[in-house]
Amino acid sequence: MMVGNIITQLSIFVNNEPGRLASIASTLRECGVNMKAFNLAESTEFGILRAIVDDPEAAYDCLRNRGIIVRKTDVIGVVIQDTPGSLFAAANVFGEAGINIEYGYAYTGRSISTFFIRVDDPARAVEALDAAGIRLVTEEEI
């Protein structure tokens, strides 16, 4: 779901052991979840599969009903160009507005490249980027 330019990301917990990612991927397939963008981060005991999906509410319900630990997180998607300084433009807006970037990952689609970012204040981040003239991605563009 997207409210304004705030996008719902799923964070799926994956045990760090052989076959677990395949098991999660199988469950995603069975639930009909289409991932538009994703990132897999790991620690010693578990990983977190962060995903932007077609229908996060339905995916969340299906995964939880199958016993998978999943959380919903608000992120924003900043449109970036394949040019030097594109990342700086958005990161600088956040720094000047006192908004902390917790993590991010990039996605290159058919017609648009996006930097999905988890920040400590998504609504204020959207306002700051809008004021700076930096375009945010819409759900339809992902």
Domain residue ranges in the chain: 2-73, 74-137
- The whole-number average pLDDT for the span 124-136 is 91
Nearest to 140 by CA among 109, 104, 105: 109
Residue 111 main-chain phi, psi, to 5 deg: -130, 0
Q: Which CATH architecture has domain 2-73?
A: 2-Layer Sandwich (3.30)
Going by the DSSP 8-state scheme, the letter that residue 54 receives in this structure is: S
Residue 105 or residue 44, greater confidence? 105
Q: What mean pLDDT is reported for the chain?
A: 88
* pLDDT one-digit tens code per residue, 76-99: 999 988 788 888 998 999 999 999
**Domain 74-137: top CATH class:** alpha beta
Give Cβ neighbours of residue 138 (< 8 Å, ≥ 6 apart). 2, 5
Give, to the nearest 10 degrees, the angle between helix 122-131 and helix 86-97. Answer: 120
Dihedral pair phi/psi, residue 82, rounded to 5°: -90, 60
Mean pLDDT, residues 109-122: 83
In terms of phi and psi (left: phi > 0; alpha: psi -120 to 50; beta: otherwise), the region of 32 is left
Q: Which residue has the higher pLDDT, 8 or 5?
A: 8
Residue 3 pLDDT exceeds 60: no
What is the pTM assigned to this prediction? 0.81
Tens of pLDDT, residues 31-75: 999 998 899 887 778 889 999 998 999 999 999 999 999 999 999
Q: What is the pLDDT of residue 138?
A: 78
pLDDT of residue 4: 65
- For residues 35 and 42, give the distance between their C-alpha atoms in angstroms, rounded to a whole number: 19
Q: Is 83 exposed, middle or buried (0-12, 13-18, 19+ CB in 10 A)?
A: exposed
